Amino acid sequence: MKFQVLSLISHSPHPLTGELPAAADRFADVVEVGVEAERLGYDAYAVGERHAGDFLSSSPTVVLGALAARTSRIRLLTGVTVVAILDPVRIAEDYATLDQLSRGRVELVVGKGAEAGHFDLFGLDEARQWDLQEEKYELLRRLWREENVDWEGEFRPALKDVTTVPRPYAGPPRVWHGSATSLNSPELAAKHGDPLFTANAIQPRAAYAKLIAHYRERFEAHGHDPADAHVAAGSGGLLIADSAEEAVRRYRDLYEAKVRQTFKPHLEGRAGYNTPFRTIEEAIADGPQLIGSPQQIIDKILGYHEVYRHDLQSLTVDGFGLPRAEQVETLQRFAEEIAPVVRAEAPSRLWDPS
């Protein structure tokens, strides 16, 4: 298995102390943790894109550009690029530029996003979100694969003889499809033979397993080799302690305060917006959160792998307001005590040189 670190660049008061770091300090933390992730041997670092709520990730290309300048090996991903609200021409230009700067280390995870407010912000009809997603993604594919593109669609002016520049570094970057609640993203991924990135962050395992099963079935039905159906999975946060008892004692107040802080009453009942795992015991037992001893976390990841057969596990260490030093310490413990065991038990050919 491969491992990725993801930051959504959340910017809300600490759930227990109420302290709010300066925006510049949050950006500095994200970049420095990315540098440390490369040093510790992680395979990828991802930055989210949010245009509403308590986040600073409205411009992931800028943040990833800073990371590209400070790193040389680690892959740079998004989590997600909100294709449905953006202009595909601009996406093609921005991320091809980043791909050139990083010498081919860029991959996109595209999705319609996890914040309901961004469609209003960009003057778009949320009811058409999947139509927007499909049309804009398919135009992006053409812009990265073809030159002198002629195109007509519903959601932007027609294109005539267009070649976006710069071109990607070494062919079109890999594009994953972020999947949280709907069969639309797995279907679009399967249609084009693209990999799937399941959120695995809030809902019970069975909800994500349904999306992945649909993806694998449709991937093969579209004529693609099932061996190429790569899957990645997120997690609801990483907190490591020496024992199960210490994890509960040390992180109970932090976890449960964060759940209360992020609860969205106006979205209650809509899948994918509020976690059903309100206590830390529920999160450890049944939630996707990676909280506990190293062995607990190993067992949970491998348990998910039995169901998902995923190639890439994404980790988040900054979602609970941990200081930078503790984030790095957590990533180091994972890299030394957990990752080697999971890599050996669940090998993957994703990103192998061949």
**What kind of architecture, by CATH, is found in domain 2-235+295-345?**
Alpha-Beta Barrel (3.20)
Whether residue 354 is predicted with pLDDT greater than 70 in this model: the reply is no
Query: What letters, b where the CB count within 10 A reaches 16 and e where it falls short, cover 328-339?
Result: bebbebbbeebb
**The pLDDT value given to residue 310:** 98
Q: Quote the CA–CA distance of 201 and 213 in Å, as a whole number.
A: 18
Domain ranges of the chain: 2-235+295-345
pLDDT at residue 270, rounded to an integer: 73
In whole angstroms, what is the distance from residue 330 CA to residue 167 CA?
38
- Write out pLDDT tens, residues 101-143: 999 999 999 998 877 678 999 999 999 999 999 999 999 999 9
pTM confidence score: 0.96
Query: Exposed, middle or buried, 294 (CB in 10 Å: 0-12/13-18/19+)?
Result: middle
Tell me the pLDDT tens digit for each residue of 145-192: 999 999 999 999 999 999 999 999 999 999 999 999 999 999 999 999
Q: Using an 8 Å Cβ cutoff, are 290 and 278 in contact?
A: no
Q: What residue has token string 């509403």?
A: 52
Amino acid (one-letter) located at 276: P
The tokens describing 95, both together, are 């991320």
Residue-wise pLDDT for 14-65, tens only, equals 999 999 999 999 999 999 999 999 999 999 999 999 998 899 999 999 999 9
pLDDT at 272 over 80: no
- Number of C-beta neighbours around residue 124 at 10 A: 15
- Tokens 């050139």 correspond to 100
Contacts of 269 (CB under 8 A, 6+ apart): none
